[in-house]
Structure 1
Amino acid sequence: MLNEKTVGEIVKEAARKFPETEAYVYPEHGIRKTYKEFDEETDELAKAFIGMGIQKGENVAIWSDNKREWLLSQFATGKMGAVLVTVNTNYQEKELEYLLQQSDSTTLILCESFKGTSYLDIVRTVCPEINNAEKGNIQSAKLPHFKRIIVMSENEYPGIYTWSELLAHAEGVSDEILEQALKATHNEDVINIQYTSGTTGFPKGVMLSHKNVVNNGQLVGDYIHLSETDRLCIPVPFFHCFGCVMGTIASVTHGTTMVIVEQFEAGKVLQLVQDEKCTALHGVPTMFIAELNHPDFAHFDLSTLRTGIMAGSICPIEVMKKVMEDMGASEITIAYGQTESSPVITQTKTDDAIEKRVSSVGKAHPGVEVKIIDPVTGEDTPAGVPGELCTRGYLVMKGYYKNEEATKSAIDSNGWLHTGDIAVMDEDGYIDITGRIKDMVIRGGENIYPKEVEEFLYQHPAIQDVQVVGVPDAKYGEELMAWVILKVGESLTSEELKEYCKGKISFHKIPKYVEFIDAYPMTASGKIQKFLLREMSKEKIEA
């Protein structure tokens, strides 16, 4: 049975069932709030959004690490019907400009800075009109829909609302108006747009409905047996589905306490698991590897840890075993999916045989169809034969925002979402992901499409051609290697190219390795053989 509630309604339900259970904890700031208080806080913020003039269906972008304001905004927009557009914390100027433009966002909520990067400086570069604008009435030449900016602080900036100025807008909005907004929000409405890199080099806005994310979060939590007695440590970023569906929504649908880490640090996570007596922990493989290899790992008491989810990239078998044995998370599970599927398609169960739990991504969730097809013929493949994994059901996105062509190429006429991932299914329905049809690189849980990086590097005046491939990396799973053909008479070093990238594209997209080459391996028809470049890359880094 599908959960028919909206994102706003699940907060109300949790507050009714578990009013005194802690909803969220920010140990770094000494903040603890019960589900009753969480419901009241998100009511006030939802009223503030309404009072500010934000309408149902309006796109509100949010750019921050895992701050309390992000969490409150997720559920407040869920109550009053605005659409939360999540922004990758690593974005730089060009990426932010593209997202705000393509998404038609009217509003940007942001923190002041992240890891030494001033978000305020970046947004002023994208929209210089802010400096002379009246708050709430920004008029940008590049961004015709853009009206307002809210900062997650009390510091005053020209043209930008402080957080308390936002909250002051709640005063003129009655409980009845909020109730009407909540009732007018339907579970088929889009609640979230998440941008994912595209093979064209431009990110695509994945539109997810209340039904998509509420049910996916519910099922993810069911699989690890979450309840109001559990405490889930969430160090994965909220702007990913891992954080804001498998983390926050999975918790709220089960009355579970969210122990939130603003920015991942292995030692901090271990400390919080110990101090807050966490029973569950989420992470991408690189996070778990960093925790297991922390110099003080043996001194932390992780005895309360029971479960959690490892996902985001292919999970190494040895790492899974260590998490079970050394961290004591004997019921840890692996989940597989993508943003377009809300995100989880398959997941292992806590009582699956150990071999299945460490070497597969489990079976399809209840109510979710999967099939493996021959990518050329489209015919179903028999058990044990690899092909492209396709899925169908409540979890499939509504489509890509303002991109019908890309939507049609992802979702076929029968409703099947084509993942682009190569998988094998055994006789019992367990699935193993063996590779990717596309050339996507997954670095520490971040999906990178080489074409996006290539498109950027092509802009360098010394570069004639460039091809980017993924190479194995012990820490991040994969890293990028760029193979560069220089223009005649030009010179460029690896260091100079990396310096050129800094501050222009996200740091995780900057190639770790740069090699210069005179010609690429080609097919007879003139196509570059990327698989040979990958082999050459591996040989280079292993030499």
Structure 2
Amino acid sequence: MSDTEKVQQIMRQISQAAPDFTVGGARVGDMEYPAYANAPASLRALCDRVFPQYGEAPFLVYQDERYSFAETHRLACRLARVLAEDYGVGPGRCVGIAMRNMPEWIVGFLAVQIAGGTVAALNSWWGARELEYGVKDCGAELVLVDPQRLDLLVPLLGPKLRAIVARSEGVLPPGVHSFEAATAAAPDDAAPPSAMGPDDLAIILYTSGTTGQPKGVALDNRAVVQQLWVWLHYTLASLQLVPPAPSIWPPAVLLTIPLFHVSGCNSVFLMSLLMGQKIVMMHRWSPSEALRLVEAERISTVAGVPTMAADLLNAPDREHYDLSSLKLFSGSGAATPPERIRELGAKMPSVAPNTGYGMTETCGAGTVIGGQDLQARPSSVGRALWPLVSLKLVDESGHDCGLAPGNRGEIWIRSVTNMYGYWNKPDATRETLQQGWIKTGDLGEFDAEGFLYIVGRIKEIIIRGGENISCNEVEAAIYEHPDVLEACVFGVHDDRLGEAVGVAVVPRPGRILLPQKLCEFLVGRLAPYKIPQHVAVRSEGLPRVATGKIDRLSLKRSSFASE
């Protein structure tokens, strides 16, 4: 029996013995899903339940700042009262958050949930144009920002958009108030009343899509809480299988993933809140600083994209630090290369790798695999996360391929954690969400033991260091250049990032197109991580398939093959 099967067996035993994990059903629209019958109804209810449990235990560490659970809750309740009374935040009202990872992101998120509103987690790597699109798309009338994002938003501020800025110095623009002043002025009494329920919208997370513009993934309170509950259930079962050392309990996690990602927000931040786990935040990624923090804060888990595992493993000063507390590297955002898993087992045998497969659209739930199962099957993304997730493979005709080993098809995921839909995009919702099933756009197959393997991708997305990049969005920006006749964007293999952005372009007749000049043109039109690292200028037209479409696969194979 595999470790994954043993954990699932323990989860079943827990469900039978512990009322908190009783599995029942939830009706969402006209669909019925397996769900935890006694999980909190909303994130507000979850906050009311868990914060009193942990009191003065450490919760957030950021540089030389430390916040207990109690202090974090006090700040969030103060801000929630300000949001409710001064800004009208409540059910049906959306508040954007656009800032780097810092305590104010977490306090702001909690405050919006306590006030009964919806958080739109805006990508802090976006440029001005993308940020403007996100703010207008989610309909926010208030945005919580850091100084860098405030600079980008100033042209949008006015009667219909106000901002609260954290850690700003100097005179603030009209309509902008200080985060510190807002939390200091509010009383320390009870949080504002709220009647949030499972169907109320909790979070909008933005993800790149094949249509170009970022898509807002709308997640209701039921989806988010159920996702947290199944991971708590899985974690408790895993701890019974491999009990933690007393010296590293309670656990601590090094947060390296952006909080605007489903992994950073749900799988790290909200799971840490639920489990009483300390979160150590980094101002920016640095392997040496990460190693120092692991030693100083007795970090037990590093949560990051696979490139960060490589950075730690290959850091020249790794041997200088006491890393005995580190027991788990949790990969997310992109597939962990099999060679990285083998390298982790060779260089840091006491650290267990853990990964899985999910999407923003599934609230991060999907499959899971770790420990010996992952070491034995380094190319697998695991098995379905019991009891909430069902998987199937579907062929091009829409028929179920079955689960027999070797059968290939598009991976579809069904779960109570699946999104409500794409915000303001009903057509895209109907295309992706069908009868409760999310069409992932990824091709997969199962082995004889039911472990899933990703074998290809249907959708035109590049995953660069865990960040999804729409080929169509990059192409649209490139076509704004007056000298471009044709362009095709695709992923180029990168040893560190997994994929980098590549493009093949054809200039207009009589025009000269230089790669460097093209990239300079894209600055300000695209976030820096979306600007191509590889540019091939062709004198002939781009190859096409029989239907007349550009042959993206052919270009991907041939354009940078010698690099």
Scaled by the length of structure 1, the TM-score of the pair is: 0.90
| Alignment partner, residue 343 of structure 2 | 322
C-alpha distance in 2 between matches for 1:192 and 1:470: 30
Q: 1:265 to 1:375 in 2, by over 3 A?
A: farther
Q: Paired residue for 2:298, among 264, 277, 291? A: 277
SS of equivalent to 1:109? strand
Q: CA deviation at 1:60?
A: 0.8
How far residue 41 of structure 1 moved from its aligned partner, in angstroms, is: 2.1
User: Residue 122 of structure 1 corresponds to which residue in structure 2?
Assistant: 152
Confirm whether residue 363 of structure 1 aligns to residue 379 of structure 2: no
Q: Distance in 1 between matches of 2:363 and 2:162?
A: 29
Distance, in Å, in 2 between the alignment partners of 1:15 and 1:240 is 23
Which region of structure 1 is more displaced relative to structure 2, 68-77 or 156-165?
156-165
Deviations 1:23-74 (A, max 9, x none): 2222x1x222222222222211211211222322211111111111001111
Q: Give the aligned residue type for 1:167.
A: T
**Alpha-carbon distance between aligned partners in 2 of 1:450 and 1:218, rounded to the nearest angstrom:** 35
Are residues 1:250 and 2:271 paired?
yes
SS for the counterpart of 1:73 is helix
Q: Per the alignment, do residues 291 and 240 of structure 1 end up closer, same or farther by CA in structure 2, a change over 3 Å counting?
A: same
Q: Secondary structure at the match of 2:47?
A: helix
| 2:183 alignment counterpart | 167
Give, in angstroms, the shift of residue 383 of structure 1: 2.7
- Correspondence for 1:110 among 120, 145, 152: 145
Alignment counterpart, residue 97 of structure 1, candidates 132, 136, 158: 132
**How big is each residue's C-alpha offset from its partner over 1:447-484, in whole Å with a ceiling of 9 and x where there is no partner?**
11111100110000111111111110111111111111
The one-letter amino acid paired with 1:525 is T
> CA contact under 8 A between 1:11 and 1:35: conserved in structure 2?
no
Residue 229 (structure 2) pairs with residue 209 (structure 1): no
Deviates more, 1:326-335 or 1:277-286: 326-335
> Do the aligned partners of 2:401 and 2:407 also contact (CA within 8 Å) in 1?
no
Question: What is the identity, as a one-letter code, of the residue corresponding to 2:81?
Answer: K
CA distance in 2: counterparts of 1:16 and 1:377, whole angstroms: 49
2:487 equivalent among 466, 484, 498: 466
Report how far residue 154 of structure 1 moved: 4.6
| Alignment match, 1:404 | 426
Matches within 5 A, 1:191-270: 191-225=202-236, 229-270=250-291
- The answer (yes or no) to whether the contact 2:393–2:444 under 8 Å persists in 1 is yes
Most deviating of 528-537 and 151-160: 151-160
Q: Which residue of 1 aligns with 2:83?
A: 49
Aligned residue in 1 for 2:416: 394
Q: Which residue does 2:366 correspond to in 1? A: 345
Q: Distance in 1 between matches of 2:50 and 2:138?
A: 31
Distance, in Å, in 1 between the alignment partners of 2:261 and 2:352 is 23
Structure 1: 5+ residue runs without aligned partners? 114-118, 131-137, 140-145
1:166 counterpart letter in structure 2: A
Distance 2:262 2:499 in 1: 21
The gaps in structure 2 that reach 5 residues or longer are 1-22, 24-35
Q: What is the CA–CA distance in structure 2 between the aligned matches of 1:168 and 1:23, rounded to whole Å?
A: 20
For residues 489 and 480 of structure 2, the distance between their equivalents in structure 1, rounded to whole angstroms, comes to 14
- 1:62 aligns with 97
CA distance in 1 between partners of 2:136 and 2:192 (Å): 32
Task: Provide the residue aligned with 1:415 in structure 2.
Answer: 436
Contact 2:342/2:375 (<8 A) preserved? no
The answer to whether the 8 A contact 2:401-2:408 is kept is no
Higher mean alpha-carbon deviation, 532-541 vs 449-458, is at 532-541
Aligned 8 A contact 1:311 1:335 in 2: yes
For 1:264 and 1:215, the matched residues in 2 are separated by 31
Q: Give the structure 1 partner of residue 12 of structure 2.
A: none
Q: Against the structure 1 CA distance between its residues 373 and 329, is the aligned structure 2 distance closer, same or farther, given a 3 Å change threshold?
A: farther
Conservation of the 8 A alpha-carbon contact between 1:65 and 1:263: no
* Partner in structure 2 of residue 180 of structure 1: 193
Match of 2:52 in 1: 16
- Distance across 1 between alignment mates of 2:276 and 2:47: 9
* Correspondence 1:40 to 2:56: no
- Paired with 1:328 and 1:64, the residues of 2 have a C-alpha distance of 36
Please report how far the alpha carbon of residue 167 of structure 1 lies from its aligned counterpart in structure 2 after TM superposition.
2.4
Contact 1:305/1:327 (<8 A) preserved: no
- Confirm whether residue 333 of structure 1 aligns to residue 344 of structure 2: no
Q: Is the 8 A contact 1:12 1:39 kept in 2?
A: no
1:519 and 1:218 mapped to 2: Cα distance? Answer: 53
User: Residue 535 in 1 paired to residue 535 in 2?
Assistant: no
Query: Residue 224 of structure 1 contacts residue 332 of structure 1 at CA under 8 Å; is this kept in 2?
Result: no
Which among 477, 484, 500 is matched to residue 456 of structure 1?
477
**Change in 2 beyond 3 A, CA 1:248/1:324:** farther
Q: Is residue 209–residue 461 contact of structure 2 (8 Å, CA) maintained in 1?
A: no
- Structure 2-normalised TM-score? 0.87
In 2, Cα distance between equivalents of 1:406 and 1:368: 22
Deviations 1:66-88 (A, max 9, x none): 11100111112121111111111
Instruction: Name the CA distance, whole Å, in 2 between partners of 1:353 and 1:197.
Output: 29
1:147 aligns with: 161
Please tell me whether the aligned partners of residues 488 and 504 of structure 2 are also in contact (alpha carbons under 8 angstroms): yes
CA distance in 2, matches of 1:218, 1:252: 12
Deviation at 1:507, TM superposition (A): 0.9
Supply the distance in 2 between the matched residues of 1:39 and 1:210 (Cα, whole angstroms): 19
**Pairwise CA distance, 1:524:** 3.1
Task: Quote the residue 1:302 is aligned against.
Answer: 323
| Aligned-partner SS, 2:381 | coil
Task: Tell me if structure 2 keeps the 8 A contact 1:92–1:506.
Answer: yes
Q: Kindly state the Cα deviation for residue 216 of structure 1 after the two structures are TM-superposed.
A: 1.9
CA, structure 1 residues 351+211, in 2 after alignment: closer, same or farther (shift >3 Å)? farther
201-210 vs 10-19, which deviates more? 10-19
CA contact under 8 A between 1:45 and 1:167: conserved in structure 2?
A: yes
Task: Tell me: CA distance 1:96–1:154, structure 2 relative to 1, closer, same or farther (3 Å).
Answer: closer
CA distance in 2, matches of 1:31, 1:216: 30
Output the aligned Cα RMSD: 1.9
1:438 aligns with 2:432: no
How far apart are the structure 1 equivalents of 2:397 and 2:200?
Answer: 35
Q: Deviations over 1:115-161 (max 9, x none)?
A: xxxx3332124x2xx4xxxxxxx23xxxxxx3311111253312111
Correspondence for 1:427: 448
Contact map agreement 2:329 2:353 (CA 8 A) in 1: yes
Shift of 1:92: 0.7
Q: State how far apart, in whole Å, the 1-side matches of 2:88 and 2:283 are.
A: 27
Matched, 1:157 2:179: no
Instruction: State the Cα deviation string for residues 257-316 of structure 1 (Å, max 9, x = none).
Output: 111223222221111111100111111011111121222122121110112411211111
Deviation of residue 540 (structure 1)? 4.1
Secondary structure, counterpart of 1:354 in structure 2: helix
